[in-house]
Amino acid sequence: MPSFRTTRQVPFTPRQMFDLVADVERYPEFLPMCEALAVRRREREGDVDILIADMTVGYKAVHETFTSRVRLEPARHEVVAQGHAGAMGPFSRLENRWQFHPAPGGCEVAFFIAYEFKSTMLQMLVGALFDRAFRRYTLAFEERARAIYGTEAPAAREIS
């Protein structure tokens, strides 16, 4: 099963990065291949928000919509998305995890995604394309953070 994992250091706080990733409705504005995203349902389990969301991804003539269950845990600075049972679109399995840890001058962003297509034909057709896109996701979020928060390190902003 294809997967990708990376850890990056960014000059933003864990909360800033969590908020950016948790704002799923904005993904079509900056995320590679994301054409649309609609939240179908929101629930609350204590301090945790649960979203059921449909995301449409596309490239040229290929367009696929899949449903995810997204768990937003602000206290842990963690976002976990999994394919929603019975409505996962092209995937037989999908898991995506973001974690944000304090680090000198900002935070460490840990990103993980694993996926498996239901169709071998679809895997052959777009598998490499998806792999390249997922590898660009962390960079897309870093660029979005700079556009939203600026480029100054959070520690410098907090002192003034």
Q: Is the pLDDT of residue 158 over 60?
A: no
Counting the structural domains of the chain, the total is: 1
Helix, strand, coil percentages for the chain (3-state, nearest 5): 35, 45, 20
Residue with tokens 């994301």: 34
Task: Give the pLDDT confidence of 18-30 residue by residue, as tens digits.
Answer: 999 999 999 999 9
Give the C-alpha separation, 10 to 28, whole Å: 22
H or E element that contains 87: none
Identify the band that residue 103 occupies on the pLDDT scale cut at 50, 70 and 90. Answer: very high
Domain annotation covers residue 134: no
Instruction: Indicate left, alpha or beta for 33 from its phi (over 0: left) and psi (-120 to 50: alpha).
Output: left
pLDDT confidence of residue 84 = 75
Domain annotation covers residue 88: yes
Structural domain of 69 = 1-101+110-118
Domain annotation covers residue 130: no
- Residue 26, CA distances (Å) to 1, 9, 118, 134 in order: 28, 23, 27, 17
- Cβ-count burial 54-76 (b if 16+ within 10 Å, e if not): bbbbeeeeeebbbbbbbbbbeee
pTM for this model (two decimals)? 0.85
pLDDT confidence of residue 85 = 67
Domain annotation covers residue 156: no
Q: Is the pLDDT of residue 157 over 50?
A: no
Report the CATH number at residue 25: 3.30.530.20
Task: Give the pLDDT confidence of 54-99 residue by residue, as tens digits.
Answer: 999 887 777 888 899 999 999 999 999 998 766 657 777 889 999 9
Q: What are the phi and psi torsion angles at 108 (to 5°)?
A: -100, 130
Domain annotation covers residue 46: yes
Identify the band that residue 156 occupies on the pLDDT scale cut at 50, 70 and 90. Answer: very low
Show the CA angle centred on residue 88, arms to residues 85 and 92, nearest 5°: 85
Task: Give the pLDDT confidence of 118-154 residue by residue, as tens digits.
Answer: 777 766 666 666 667 777 888 899 999 999 998 765 5
Domain annotation covers residue 151: no
Domain annotation covers residue 123: no
Domain annotation covers residue 146: no
Give the C-alpha separation, 47 to 65, whole Å: 29
pLDDT confidence of residue 86 = 64
pLDDT confidence of residue 91 = 76
pLDDT confidence of residue 1 = 74
